Amino acid sequence: MRETRLWSLHILVIPIIAVLLGMHFALMHYAPVFYDVSVDEAREFSTMIERGKSMTQFVVYTLLLIAGLYHGLYGLRGILRELPLTPTLVKVVDIGILIFGLMIFALGMYVTWWTFNAPLGG
C-alpha cells in the first residue's frame, strides 16, 4: 500500500511539473517568444532578483522544486531498486535518496528564499 501511494504521488505530480516547467521554459528559455525579451536580458542578475521577489514566483519555484525532485528521485529509486540488491542495500538506496533529496531541496529553498528577500540592486 505504501508503494502504491508513492507511485500514485509520482504520477500525480506530473501535471504540476508540466505546467510549472512550461512556465519556467517560457520565462527563461523562450522569453523572446512569450515576453518579447531576449534570453540574455531574462537571465540578467537584476531581472532575476526582481522576478524572485514576486510571491507567485516564490510559490511556483517551491512547488516545482518539490514536484520535480520527488518525481525524478522516485524514478531514480525505481531504477536502482531493479538492480539485484540485498535488502540492506535497498534500505541504503531508500534512505540515501531521501537524504540527498532533502539536502537538494533545502539548498533550492534557501536560494529561493534568499532571492525573495534580497535587496534590489544585488
Partner 1 sequence: MSTNKSSSYNNRLGLKGWMYAGRYSFERYLYLGHRLSGLGLIAYMVLHIVETANRIRGEEAWAGLMALFASPPFRVIEYLLFVMAIFHALNGVRLILVELGFFLGKPQEPVYPYKSSIMKHRPLTYIIMLLAFVVMVLGSSSLFFE
Residues near partner 1 (CB under 8 A) are 11, 14, 18, 21, 25, 29-30, 32, 38-40, 43-46, 48-49, 65, 68-69, 72-73, 75-76, 79, 83-84, 104, 107-108, 110-111, 114-115, 122
Residue 78 cell numbers, joined: 525505481
Rounded least distance, CB 3 to partner 1, Å: 15
Rounded least distance, CB 104 to partner 1, Å: 6
Q: Is the Cβ of residue 87 or residue 122 nearer to partner 1 in the bound state?
A: 122
Rounded least distance, CB 92 to partner 1, Å: 18
Q: Is the Cβ of residue 9 or residue 110 nearer to partner 1 in the bound state?
A: 110
Rounded least distance, CB 2 to partner 1, Å: 19
Distance between CA atoms of residues 99 and 112, nearest Å: 20
Residue 99 cell numbers, joined: 537524504
Give whole-number Cα distances, 112 to 33, 36, 87, 105, in Å.
Answer: 25, 25, 37, 10
Per the listing, cell 535587496 goes with: 119
Cβ atoms of 121 and 44 closer than 8 Å: no
